[in-house]
Amino acid sequence: MTAPADRPAQVSFREAFLFWLKLGFISFGGPAGQISIMHQELVDNRRWISERRFLHALNYCMVLPGPEAQQLATYIGWLMHRTWGGIVAGALFVLPSLFILIALSWVYIAFGDVPLVAGLFYGIKPAVTAIVVQAAHRIGSRALKNNTLWAIAGASFVAIFALGLPFPLIVVAAALIGYVGGRLSPATFRTGGGHGAAQRAHAPALIDDDTPTPEHARFSVGRLVRIVLAGALLWAGPMALLTLLLGWSHTLTQMGWFFTKAALLTFGGAYAVLPYVYQGAVSHYGWLTPTQMIDGLALGETTPGPLIMVVAFVGFVGGYLNDEMRAVFGPDSLFLAGAVAATLVTWFTFLPSFLFILAGGPLVESTHDDLKFTAPLTAITAAVVGVILNLALFFGYHVLWPEGFDGHFDLPSALIALGAAVALFRFRRNVIHVIAACAAVGLAVRTLGG
């Protein structure tokens, strides 16, 4: 056993603030890439939280509606520095992406096609594919500690890849398997089926397996009521103001209502939410065209922050081009109209995520030694490995065969993806360095290729 003196020193709020700010600017690669970055930084490099506590928090975030990586950052920030620590961690995970997307959305709408951005995207997409593969390998190598968990991961992959089953159904099935399996074979589902040996190979963390739950993270009915009431006011206040000033049918009011439903009613991460957003924003409301939605998804995939931040693009375009918004802000303030709409939809999309963590976190912290709760979460982790692998294949297919299997094989993209994989797996290069290098290569290829 390693001596307790080897534990990291206490982390100040300022030090944590600077890390969360940095994370907001480097969190590329979608949820899998972002979780991989956080795992490497928080578990391996800084040792702010142990492997087991990290996975326990991740499993909870995986079953919530909303962006799991942002919720995980909020959870760890809350665990370390109370409510304001969670708010700062979650907000800084989103704000850089919001500002960047507002700027890129304005360039996109005001100036049309941007060859520079297209060239950068061409290199980043293969890199994202390699990052997702690395995330599947990293989480799988630590979580799949026996044949049963491997079988759950394999069944999850088949269910989503071959059968097209929805992610929430896969999560529920995995949880049931874990619950029953934890009763029939406790050793198989205890802390990842023998994960404790792997944990002992790591030096102690600041929040380690045996670290007592801090006072602020213990469950209290009074605290839960205060959080729920505060969340209800933070949602109802803006909605009431919009309704009174603009009317229920106004674009801004409908955006607030629609993205509240998107945040609450859709599970399974960004890729489960996007079809719902597409159907509402394009088909029902007509805030943007199908081509604009696809371009917005490309921007969301290649900027830092949660992929669901594509909603900021939807809001900006819908606000910028909308006649109702021109009437409110004036024809000379189109950028302001778009920026206000983007900020509004971001608020309503992410507010529930903060409430889920701040209200549910104490309940989760009380269960990390209770097999009735940890066994289902262990099974969910195994299932998520299969889902991430499916995501890697989805990216790989669309990157290497952009026109489908009947079209051409994109050899430059394949070489960029291979180079990114070698840099990540063989040389263990930093994710942001890999993305920057691949973006530069992609720009060069597109420029030289015309």
Predicted confidence (pLDDT) per residue in 335-356, tens digit: 999 999 999 999 999 999 999 9
- How would residue 387 be classed by pLDDT, with cut points 50, 70 and 90? confident
Its pTM stands at 0.73
- Contact residues for 87 (Cβ-Cβ < 8 A; gap 6+): 74, 77, 354
- What was the pLDDT predicted at 359? 94
User: pLDDT at residue 440 above 50?
Assistant: yes
- The pLDDT value recorded for residue 197 is 37
Gap between the Cα atoms of 260 and 25, Å rounded: 26
Q: Answer whether 446's CB lies under 8 Å from 119's CB.
A: yes
pLDDT of the residue at 249: 94
Highest mean pLDDT among 48-52, 110-114, 244-248, 271-275: 244-248
Contact 178, 410 (CB under 8 A): no
Q: What is the pLDDT of residue 394?
A: 77
User: For residue 231, what pLDDT is reported?
Assistant: 95
CA–CA dist 298, 300 (Å, integer): 5
Number of Cβ within 10 Å of residue 436's Cβ equals 17
What's the rounded mean pLDDT across residues 176-189? 91
Mean of pLDDT values over 279-293: 86
Work out the percent of the chain whose per-residue pLDDT is above 90: 44
10 Å Cβ neighbour count for 379?
31
Question: What is the reported pLDDT for 330?
Answer: 87
pLDDT at residue 369, rounded to an integer: 63
Distance, in Å, from the CA atom of 66 to the CA atom of 239, rounded to the nearest integer, reads 20
Q: In this predicted structure, which of 138-147, 294-303, 390-399 has the lowest mean pLDDT?
A: 294-303
User: Which of 122-131, 171-180, 319-328, 340-349 shows the lowest mean pLDDT across its residues?
Assistant: 122-131
- Summarize the confidence of residues 169-173 as an average pLDDT: 85
Q: How many helices (H) and strands (E) are present in the chain, helices listed first?
A: 20, 0
Cβ-contact 19, 76 below 8 angstroms: no
Q: Is the pLDDT of residue 268 over 60?
A: no
**C-beta neighbour count of 87 within 10 angstroms:** 17
Which residue did the predictor score with more confidence, 14 or 380? 14
pLDDT of residue 301: 67
Which of 16 and 167 is assigned the larger pLDDT? 16
Instruction: Please state, in angstroms and rounded to a whole number, the distance separating the CA atoms of residues 232 and 370.
Output: 31
Q: Is the pLDDT of residue 221 over 80?
A: yes
User: What is residue 266's predicted lDDT score, i.e. its pLDDT?
Assistant: 61
Q: Residue 204 carries which DSSP code?
A: P
DSSP H helical segments within 248-333, as ranges? 251-265, 270-278, 290-301, 310-320, 323-329
For 194-200, what is the mean pLDDT?
40
